[in-house]
Amino acid sequence: MFEAFDEAARRAIFMARLAAITDQSKTIELVHLLAGIHKEAPVLFRGVDWAKSKIRLARLTPENLHKASQAQGDIPLGAKTKRAFAAAPAIAKKLQSSRVSNAHLLAAALSADARMKKQLQKAGLAQENLKKSAESRGAESGRASRSGIGYDLHRLSEKRKLMIGGVEVPFEKGSVGHSDGDVLCHAVCDALLGAAGMGDIGTHFPDSDQKWRGVSSLVFLRQIRQYLQRGNWKIRHIDAVVVLERPKLGPHFPAMREAIAKSLGIPADRINLKAKTHEGIGEIGRGEAIAAHAIATLEG
């Protein structure tokens, strides 16, 4: 049914399901589809005064998205949503597009509910903008490529293992943390979540949750891999730098790249790792702490 829908429109439909779950609805209604389209292509709603529209969209915060994405099972489409999906390809075709974009999907949703259309128009929805967006292919998504940054720091202490990039590095100290304290994995997690606009590691894997106690940080990467898949994101590249005084990490980089790549389901050549000392300065320089910075680029 959705073959003709472009990636961004499919993500909006995916988000519509999460909006329905957030609203505890048994069916996916037009208002949920609207929430999904709004999440993926907010530019289509430029100028809309939502209070005036009297339409309440589900709040798709990272917390709500996380909660909703745990829910299992299909949610049936409401009758109007079904009509909108059926109408969208014809609307795209009329505008000489072979693919259904979010602009087409929104036009289809409005065509399925005259009252909602009136409400949105009254609240400032500009049909002109909609038409322009529908005509400029793909412009509405703004999600071709995005980057995210991640940073983490952990204290080092005796009697702890030194886990970096999913690999145990032989050393007299290890990082202190609720999980295995893997700074590199944590920085990569935050970079990936940041690029996907999904908040941060603390939101998804809070250290108040006993579930994550002592767990390998590769588990977090595997979970994030699933989030990215659901959002139709692909990992293009990850670059990271680990800052520590000792020991030398170079010999361990191949194993770390493999471990991270395997957890994320990507080839290892999309991951670059570097190490820096702190020139003996400060906590890191004295060997009391270890830090990592990462940047991730996704394409959607």
The yes or no reply on residue 204 touching Mg ion (CB under 5 A) is no
Kindly determine how many residues on this chain lie close enough to bind Mg ion according to the rule CB under 5 A. Answer: 2
User: In angstroms, rounded to a whole number, what is the distance separating the alpha carbons of residues 85 and 5?
Assistant: 10
* Shortest CB 152 distance to Mg ion, Å: 4
Which of 38, 186, 252, 257 is the binder for Mg ion (CB under 5 A)? 186
Tokens of 87: 């109408």
Decide whether 23 or 152 has the Cβ nearer to Mg ion.
152
**Side-chain half-sphere CA neighbours of 43 within 13 A:** 17
Decide whether 14 or 151 has the Cβ nearer to Mg ion.
151
- 42-50, 150-158, 270-278, 288-296 -> range binding Mg ion (CB under 5 A): 150-158
Decide whether 150 or 231 has the Cβ nearer to Mg ion.
150
Decide whether 115 or 211 has the Cβ nearer to Mg ion.
211
* Shortest CB 166 distance to Mg ion, Å: 14
User: In angstroms, rounded to a whole number, what is the distance separating the alpha carbons of residues 82 and 84?
Assistant: 5
- Enumerate residues 16-35 that contact Mg ion by CB under 5 A: none
User: In angstroms, rounded to a whole number, what is the distance separating the alpha carbons of residues 294 and 39?
Assistant: 26
The yes or no reply on residue 152 touching Mg ion (CB under 5 A) is yes
- 14-22, 24-32, 179-187, 255-263 -> range binding Mg ion (CB under 5 A): 179-187
The answer to whether 133 touches 147, Cβ cutoff 8 Å, is no
* 3-state SS class at 291: strand
User: In angstroms, rounded to a whole number, what is the distance separating the alpha carbons of residues 237 and 195?
Assistant: 11
Decide whether 5 or 212 has the Cβ nearer to Mg ion.
212
Helices (H) and strands (E) in the chain, counts: 13, 7
- 164-172, 184-192, 224-232, 288-296 -> range binding Mg ion (CB under 5 A): 184-192
Decide whether 68 or 249 has the Cβ nearer to Mg ion.
249
- 3-11, 57-65, 180-188, 205-213 -> range binding Mg ion (CB under 5 A): 180-188
Decide whether 154 or 252 has the Cβ nearer to Mg ion.
154
The yes or no reply on residue 190 touching Mg ion (CB under 5 A) is no
Q: Which residues contact 216 (CB under 8 A, 6 or more apart)?
A: 163, 166, 179, 180, 182
* Shortest CB 274 distance to Mg ion, Å: 19
> How far is CA 173 from each of CA 63, 280, 289, rounded to the nearest angstrom?
35, 17, 10
DSSP codes of every residue in 65-110:
HHHHHT--S--PBPHHHHHHHHHHHHHHHHTT-SSB-HHHHHHHHH
Q: Which residues bind Mg ion (CB under 5 A)?
A: 152, 186
